[in-house]
Homo-oligomer: A and B are copies of this chain.
Amino acid sequence: MPALNEVKHYISGYVDGEGCFSVSFSMRKKLLVGWETKPSFSVSQNRERAQVLHLMKKVFGCGFLRQDRKTLKYEVRSLADLVNKIIPHFEKYPLLSTKNNDFKYLKQVCRLMLKREHCKASGLKKVTRIAFKMNPDGTRRYSQEYILRTLR
């Protein structure tokens, strides 16, 4: 096994290929704005090749593994873990492809969330504007237009 610092560069390379930074939204009638903001960092892999996911969980010291259809998924959803563990990692060991843009957008959203911006309509608008720049090829349950139209 390479030294920890080397493993961290390796993990950034792995994530640049297989990782995903995203911000999704769920309708929550109990919340003031009517919508929950859910930032996440995840990496999927075939079950037979789960070693690197376990390695990441250990190195990052956060997150969890779960079965996702045919693959195993390593996921970090806690805002505190994203801010204190995941974001500092990718600042020090940067992604070298345009996926780094998604990382930067996630960072912007997390910063707004730390300031509780997502809990009021004006802030949530900012959050959706950033979130919908991420993973343009991905599928989303709700359109940005729908969220903006229904937020309170």
Contact = CB atoms under 8 A, between A and B. Distances in A.
Interface of A: 1-2, 6-7, 9-18, 45, 48-49, 51-52, 55, 93-94, 96-99
B10 A52 contact: no
19 contacts: A6-B6, A6-B93, A9-B10, A10-B10, A10-B93, A10-B96, A13-B15, A13-B16, A14-B16, A15-B17, A17-B17, A17-B45, A18-B18, A45-B97, A48-B98, A49-B98, A49-B99, A52-B96, A55-B96
Contact of A13 (B9, B51, B97, B99): B9
Contacts of A96: 1, 7, 10, 51-52, 55
Copies in the complex: 2
A48 B102 CA distance: 14
A35 to B, nearest CB: 29
Nearest to A16: B14
A96 B18 CA distance: 15
Given A17-B52, A51-B97, 15 more contacts: A2-B93, A2-B94, A7-B9, A9-B10, A10-B16, A12-B13, A13-B13, A13-B16, A14-B14, A14-B17, A16-B52, A17-B18, A48-B98, A51-B98, A52-B96
